[in-house]
Amino acid sequence: MLARPLFILLTLLTLSACTLAPVQPWDRDLLAEEKMQLIPDPVENFIDEHIYFSKEGASGGQGVGGGGCGCN
């Protein structure tokens, strides 16, 4: 059921990457900054994931291995 949209998504992403000029290693200074990490603040991200996991019907998406809770 999901194979098709996933295939289209990955194809589009691959094509978009091909059309962009490659970023050379010496041009990755900004990408290396801590604030440019996909999760720049691990504690804040962990806490938010836990709050919304506890208080909404939907969860996950960013990674695996969070840990369970009774979540009253």
Partner 1 sequence: MQLNDKASIRRALAAATCTLLGSASQTSHAEGSDEKWRVDTSVLYYSEQDRVTVVEPVVFLRKTTGEDSFVNFRLIYDTMSGASANGATPTNKPQTFTSASGTSTYTTPAGKTPLHDFSDQRVAVAVEWDKPVDHLSRAIYGINASTENDYRSIGLSATRLRDFNDKLTTLTLGIAGSYDSVMPIGGAPIPMQLMSAAVPSPAGGEGDEGEGGKTKLVADAIVGITQVLTRRALTQFNYSIGYSSGYLTDPYKVVSVIDATGATLDYRFESRPDIRLRQSLYWKTAYHFDHDVMHFAYRYYWDDWGIHAHTADLHYRMELWKGAYLQPHLRYSTQTAANFYTYSLLNTSPVPTYASADYRLGDLTTTTYGLKLGIPVGRTSELNLRVESITQSGNGYPADAIGIQKNYDLFPTINTTVVQITYTGRF
- The residue among 61, 6, 12, 16 whose CA lies nearest residue 39 is 61
Residues forming the site for partner 1 (CB under 8 A): 2, 6, 9-10, 13, 16-17, 20-23, 25-44, 46-47, 51-52, 55-70, 72
Least CB distance to partner 1 at residue 11 (A): 11
Cα(33)–Cα(40) distance, rounded to whole angstroms?
Answer: 9
Least CB distance to partner 1 at residue 45 (A): 9
Least CB distance to partner 1 at residue 21 (A): 8
Cα(68)–Cα(66) distance, rounded to whole angstroms?
Answer: 7
